[in-house]
Structure 1
Amino acid sequence: MSLSNIRIVRKILIIVGLLSAILIYVGYAGYHSAVTLGMAGQDIDDADGQALRASRMNNTLLALNRSQYRVGLDASQESMATVEKSVAESRALFERSLDDLRSSADPQEQEMLRGVADGYAAFMTSLETTMQKARALGAVAPTADQMALITSVKEGRTLVDQLQQRIRALAEHYDKAGTDMAHRGQVMADGAKRTMLIGTAAGTLLGIALGLFIGHVGVARPIAATVDCLQRLAAGDVGFTVFGIGRKDELGAVAETMQVFKTNILRTREMEAAAKEQEQRVAAEKKKAMDELADLFDAKVAGVVQAVSSAAEQLSSTASAMSSIAEETNRQATTVAAAADQTTANVQTVSAAADQLSSSIGEISQRVGHSSEVSSSAVERARLANDMVRGLASNAERIGRVIELISNIASQTNLLALNATIEAARAGDAGRGFAVVAGEVKTLATQTAKATDEIVAQIAEVQASTRQAVGAIEGIGAVIDELSQISSAIASAVEEQSAATQEIARNVDQAAHGTQDVSRSIAGVTVASAEAGQAASLVLAAASGLGRSSDILRTEVGSFISRVRAA
């Protein structure tokens, strides 16, 4: 099994488990040694107990021997009663100790205990003989029998000495057995110590070596490689293979997460490139649409403005001609009036003047009719220009709605970038590179919003200029309507003048009879010519105003087109 497929927790648990196993072994060895030492101590304690019993038997034998001496020295009834009681107690204690030793003795000890029992039986026989003799003699002076008693006591002493030697040998045996057991216990304790020390040292060294190996190969080196990948990823470098893909430990999970971040960075860069390309394409399309709109507006409105300007110039020329004709008519009427007193003499002159006046009035009528047609055409062109400008305003509003849609998209992009920044912050250091990308996306969205605001401002200016153009064109239409009304008035005056001239022509043949009528007609012609002059002046003034308005309109349209193309 490879260390790369073992989780860090399990790697640490391996070390802990190994050390625990070593400690369990060392503990078991120590426990076993302690149990063995305890058993050895129990054996030593048993040996000490047996030695103590042997010592008690020796002391009991000494007490029995003293009782025998006491009987030999004092055979009175009181002394005998005391001795018999002491002998009974000592005998019971000796025999009980002997039975205890027999219950736990090995074959060698059993042989030794049989010798002790035989000696004890011989001594007790001697003691009983001594006591029987003492009871038989009673308290008398030493006699030959007493001397025999003393001799018997001495023999008992010899037996006691022999028995003490045997008991001493038994005690030495038990002491030697206890010493041997203690030595074996010490040897076992030393072995247990060595085992514990060697096991602990070996386990510690093995644990350290295994810990260093696992820590370096299984933890430190993979973590260093993972950190290097994270640092490169944070620096924006994605041209590397993520370390740890396929591992089953925690670093494998980190590697999979890092691969996700790397994929997201690549995807984000692709999205940024696509967004930049889309932005450039939208900007190009917007520029193209604005240029086409400006060209269309320039082509249509400029033509209308040129037509209005031409109509104004033509109307001005017509008004000047009308003014000249009116002046000429006035002069001719004055001449006719002056010649009215000589009507009879100058009938032919009046007739010629009347014919010339009729011709002039016809020309005036033609020019006034042409002026009326020009005014009507100018009104129609002004209305067309007004409709075009209103259509331009509608297009500007639609462009405004498109810009508003772009602004909403920028706001949503900004919100998305904000959400991405929050998620990167939750990821900590692993999401730092993604946070930088999210900041760039947010900056791009902010720039888009600013550009959208500028376009909205330009559209607002375009709409304002459009409204000004609409107002100017409406003013031009009003002026042209006024010119049309003036032309109608001039036409009425010319018709009246034509009627007066015809009346003059009819009355030329009757000049002699209608001199007064001729004078009145000439006066009417004079008034009509004066009115025609005034009307021509009004037409000239209106034509001048129309020319100035057309110049203003041309300037405003040029400025508007320049701003649209600049946007």
Structure 2
Amino acid sequence: MRPSQPRIWPIIYMRVSLPLKVILALLFSGLALISAAQGSLSLHQLAAIGEVATALAKDWVPSLEKVGAIEVAASEVRIKQYRLILLSDTPEHRVINEAALAKTHAQLRDARRAYEPLISTADERQHYDVFDAAWSRFEQADRDVRRLMEAGQQAEAAKLLIKPEVVALYDNARAALARLVDHDEKAAAQDADRAMTRIDTASAAAITGIGLSLVSALAAAIFGLVYISRPISAMTGAMTRLARGEAATEIPFQHRRDEIGAMAAAVQVFKDNLIRSRQLEAEAEAARQ
């Protein structure tokens, strides 16, 4: 009785002629390459995410904080100017209000010194230079107001403070600050979006790599079952039947050009020797008769 051969994917048996060790090496090399590619891409994406996170932590977040401090101080300067003009009804009050205004100017200078090293783009530098030019001219008007107050010319100081030119200088400075805030907010948002994009890319790469690894592992398992395990089982069955003396046993897989084919050829030799041995026994018995 001819033993049954595996019928799963019979085309494999017809077309694959590489040695098994080469095929297995290719399969596991593919797994290794997929893992290496996934790891390299993940490391690259993580490095990019780290760069973006560093930029956010060391540049844009501090920049927004310092610009906010400049805005607050600039607003306080204007408030303290009006307090100096309107609430300095006695010399003591004037001294107190002048000290408060000077303190606010000092806070603004400190905030500006902290912000200036963080400027990193041409647009940011341009907006800050516009603010600096407008604020420098506004500070000159502020000094003139304080000199008039020291001289007891409160009415003249009030007129100078509300002159359209002085108000325009303050408004220009505040507008430049608003543009700075908008620039830094957009830059921070763009970096955050890039970080999220990198995270999505890394996640997709990880999922893809896992999927490819699973497919490769499944292919290797199916290949081992269909192309190695079952043929070996069939060869074992054929050799068992030959050992029992069933010379009519069909030896499968002799067409293969790999280790299984070499095993089949060797078993075929045993079969041929068995048949030849029986023929010789029959001829010897006939001679004895």
Aligned to 2:178: 168
Measure the CA separation in 1 of the matches of 2:150 and 2:280. Answer: 134
If asked which structure has higher relative contact order (CA below 8 Å, sep 6+), I would say 2
Q: Which residue of 1 aligns with 2:60?
A: 47
Relative to the length of structure 1, the TM-score reads 0.39
Structure 2 matches for 1:5-44, cutoff 5 A?
Answer: 5-7=19-21, 11-44=23-56
Q: CA deviation at 1:118?
A: 0.9
Cα drift, residue 146 of structure 1: 0.5
* SS at structure 2 position matched to 1:236: coil
- Consecutive unaligned residues in structure 1, runs of 5 or more: 138-144, 281-567
Select the residue among 146, 151, 154 that pairs with 2:154: 146
Cα distance in 1 between the residues matched to 2:277 and 2:143: 122
Q: Computing the radius of gyration over CA atoms, which structure comes out larger, 1 or 2?
A: 1
Indicate the SS of the match to 1:186.
Answer: helix
TM-superposition CA deviations, 1:100-159 (whole Å, max 9, x none): 244x122x222211111112102211222222223333xxxxxxx212212333345664
* Structure 2 length-normalised TM: 0.70
Preserved CA contact (<8 Å) 2:66 2:112: no
Deviation at 1:163, TM superposition (A): 2.1
Q: Distance in 2 between matches of 1:99 and 1:119?
A: 16
Give the letter aligned to residue 60 of structure 1. Answer: A
User: Could you tell me whether the CA contact under 8 Å between 2:231 and 2:253 is conserved in 1?
Assistant: yes
Secondary structure of 1:15's aligned partner: helix
Superposition pairs of residues 348-427 of structure 1, within 5 angstroms: none
In structure 2, runs of 5+ residues without a counterpart are 1-14
Once residues 132 and 34 of structure 2 are traced to their aligned partners in structure 1, the CA distance between those partners, rounded to angstroms, is 55
Displacement after TM superposition at 1:230 (Å): 1.9
User: Is the 8 Å Cα contact of residues 57 and 97 (structure 1) preserved in structure 2?
Assistant: no
Structure 1 match to 2:84: 71
Does the Cα contact within 8 Å between 2:81 and 2:101 map onto a contact in 1? no
**Aligned-pair identity (%):** 19
The residue aligned with 2:151 is: 136
Secondary structure in structure 1 of the residue aligned to 2:245: coil
1:119 aligns with 2:134: yes
Tell me how far apart the structure 2 counterparts of residues 190 and 95 of structure 1 sit (CA, whole Å). Answer: 37
Provide Cα deviations, 1:522-554, integer angstroms capped at 9, x if missing partner: xxxxxxxxxxxxxxxxxxxxxxxxxxxxxxxxx
AA at the equivalent of 1:105:
T
- 2:121 partner SS: coil
- For 1:152, the aligned partner's letter is L
In proportion to residue count, which structure has more helix?
A: 1
1:451-470 matches, cutoff 5 A: none
Q: Measure, in 2, the Cα distance between the counterparts of 1:161 and 1:86.
A: 22
With over 3 angstroms needed to count, the CA separation of the structure-2 counterparts of 1:244 and 1:14, relative to structure 1, is same
Matches of 1:202 and 1:248, distance apart in 2:
27
RMSD: 4.1
Q: Deviations over 1:310-345 (max 9, x none)?
A: xxxxxxxxxxxxxxxxxxxxxxxxxxxxxxxxxxxx
**What amino acid does structure 2 have at the position aligned with 1:5?**
P
How many residues were matched structurally?
265
1:225 aligns with 2:234: yes
Of 107, 114, 121, the residue aligned with 1:105 is: 121
Q: CA deviation at 1:43?
A: 3.9
Superposition deviation, residue 244 in structure 1: 6.5
Aligned 8 A contact 1:80 1:135 in 2: no
